[in-house]
Chain A
Amino acid sequence: MTTAPDAPEHTGFRLSQLIYDTRYRSITIQIVVLFLVMGFVGWLVDNTIQNLNALGKDFNYGFLSQRAGYDIGNALIPYNNDMSHGRALLVGLLNTLWVSFLGCITATVIGVIVGVLRLSKNWLVGRLMTIYVEVFRNIPVLLWILVAIALLTEAAPSPNQYKVNPATGEAQTSMVLESVAFTNRYTAIPSIHFDRSLGSLDTALAPISLNFLAIVVVLLASWFAVKLVNKRAARVQEATGVRPTTLWTNLAIWVLPVAILVTALGINPEEPVLKGFNFVKGTNVSNAFVALWAGLSLYTAAFIAEIVRAGILAVSKGQTEAAFALGLRANRTMSLVILPQALRVIIPPLISQYLNLTKNSSLAIAVGYLDLRGTLGGITLNQTGRELEAITLMMLIYLVISLLISGGMNVFNNRVKLKER
Chain B
Amino acid sequence: MSDTHAQTVAFVRDTMLPEKAAPSGQSGAIKWLRENLFSGWFNTLLTLVGLYVTYSFVVHFYPWFAHGVWDANSLKECRAIITDRYGEGATGACWAMIRERWHQFLFGFYPSELYWRPVLTFALLFVAIGPLMFQFVPKKVIWFTPLFPFVAVWLLWGGSIWAPLLVLAGFVLGWAVFSFVGKYGSIAGFSAGAVVAILYFLFAVGPLIDLFQAMMPIGIEHVDSAKFGGFLLAITLGVGGIVMSLPAGIILALGRQSDMLLIKSFSIIFIEFIRGVPLITLLFVASLLLNYFLPPGTNFDIILRVVILVTMFAAAYIAEVIRGGLAALPRGQYEAADALGLDYWKAQRLIILPQALKISIPGIVSTFIGMFKDTTLVVFVGLFDPLKGIPDFIRADFNWKGIYWEPFVFVGAIFFILNFAMSRYSMHLENRLQRDNH
**Interface residues, chain A, CB within 8 Å of chain B?**
19-20, 26, 29-30, 33-34, 37, 44, 47-48, 50-52, 54, 117, 120-125, 128, 134-135, 137-143, 146-147, 150, 154, 355, 359-360, 362-363, 365-366, 373, 377, 387-388, 391, 394-395, 398-399, 402-403
Contact = CB atoms under 8 A, between A and B. Distances in A.
Contacts of A30: 260-263
Nearest to A138: B419
A378 B77 CA distance: 39
A218 B402 CA distance: 52
Given A30-B263, A33-B263, A50-B296, A142 B377 contact: yes
List the 9 closest pairs (A to B, CB-CB), nearest first. A402-B276, A138-B419, A359-B278, A123-B36, A399-B276, A140-B373, A362-B278, A30-B262, A124-B50
Contacts of A44: 293
Nearest to A19: B187
B260 A362 contact: no
Given A360-B278, A373-B281, A398-B277, A124 B296 contact: no
A261 B292 CA distance: 58
A141 B296 CA distance: 37
Contact of B404 (A19, A51, A125, A154): A154
Nearest to A402: B276
Nearest to B35: A121
B289 A141 contact: no
Interface in B262-292: 262-263, 266, 272-273, 275-281, 284-285, 288-289, 291-292
A148 B259 CA distance: 49
Contacts of B39: 121-122
B291 to A, nearest CB: 7
A33 B266 contact: yes
B404 A26 contact: no
Given A123-B37, A139-B419, A140-B373, 13 more contacts: A20-B185, A29-B260, A44-B293, A135-B416, A139-B412, A141-B373, A143-B412, A146-B387, A360-B278, A362-B281, A387-B288, A391-B288, A394-B281
A3 to B, nearest CB: 26
A89 B100 CA distance: 44
Contacts of B405: 150
Contact of A143 (B43, B402, B408): B408
Residue of B293, B294, B374 with most chain A CB atoms under a 10 A cut-off = B293
Contact of B289 (A120, A124, A142, A387): A387
B388 A142 contact: yes
16 contacts: A26-B260, A34-B262, A48-B292, A121-B36, A124-B50, A138-B369, A139-B419, A140-B376, A140-B415, A142-B387, A143-B376, A150-B404, A366-B380, A391-B289, A398-B277, A402-B277
A47 B281 contact: no
Chain B interface residue bracket vs A:
35 or more
A121 to B, nearest CB: 7
Contacts of B420: 134, 138
A34 B379 CA distance: 37
Contacts of B284: 377, 387, 391
A124 B37 contact: yes
A138 B423 contact: yes
Nearest to B234: A140
A399 B277 contact: yes
A47 B296 contact: yes
Interface string B114-156: 0000000000000000000000000000000000000000000
B50 A125 contact: yes
Contact of B50 (A128, A143, A146, A150): A128
Given A29-B263, A146-B387, A391-B285, A128 B54 contact: yes
Contacts of A388: 289, 292
Interface centre among B259, B262, B281, B415 (most CB of A within 10 A): B281
* Residue of A128, A143, A360 most packed against chain B (CB within 10 A): A143
Contacts of A362: 278, 280-281
A26 B259 contact: yes
A120 B374 CA distance: 32
B234 to A, nearest CB: 9
A47 B47 contact: no
A33 B191 CA distance: 13
Given A123-B36, A138-B419, A387-B288, A146 B281 contact: no
B216 interface: no
A154 B369 CA distance: 30
B51 interface: yes
A52 B291 CA distance: 10
A140 B387 contact: yes
Contacts of A141: 373
B295 interface: yes
A142 to B, nearest CB: 5
A124 B51 contact: yes
A51 B36 contact: no
B347 interface: no
Given A387-B289, A402-B275, A122 B47 contact: yes
Contacts of A360: 278
B293 A122 contact: no
B277 to A, nearest CB: 5
B416 A146 contact: no
Contacts of B377: 142, 363
A134 to B, nearest CB: 6
Residue in B272, B289, B411 with the greatest tally of chain A CB atoms within 10 Å: B289
A170 to B, nearest CB: 18
A154 B293 CA distance: 43
A153 B294 CA distance: 43
A138 B54 CA distance: 21
A18 to B, nearest CB: 10
Contacts of B275: 355, 402
B388 A47 contact: no
B53 interface: yes
B424 to A, nearest CB: 10
B46 interface: yes
Interface in B421-437: 423
A395 B405 CA distance: 34
A128 B50 CA distance: 7
B70 to A, nearest CB: 22
A37 B263 CA distance: 10
A143 B387 contact: yes
A78 to B, nearest CB: 27
Given A54-B296, A128-B54, A377-B284, A117 B412 contact: no
Contacts of B277: 359, 395, 398-399, 402
Contacts of A138: 369, 373, 415-416, 419-420, 423
A123 B51 CA distance: 11
Given A120-B46, A122-B37, A362-B281, A398 B276 contact: yes
Contacts of A20: 185
A395 B185 CA distance: 43
Interface string B25-67: 0000000000111010001001101110110000000000000
A122 B50 contact: yes
Contact of B408 (A150, A355, A366, A373): A150
Contacts of A391: 281, 284-285, 288-289
A51 B291 contact: yes
A403 B260 CA distance: 24
Contacts of A47: 292-296
A225 to B, nearest CB: 34
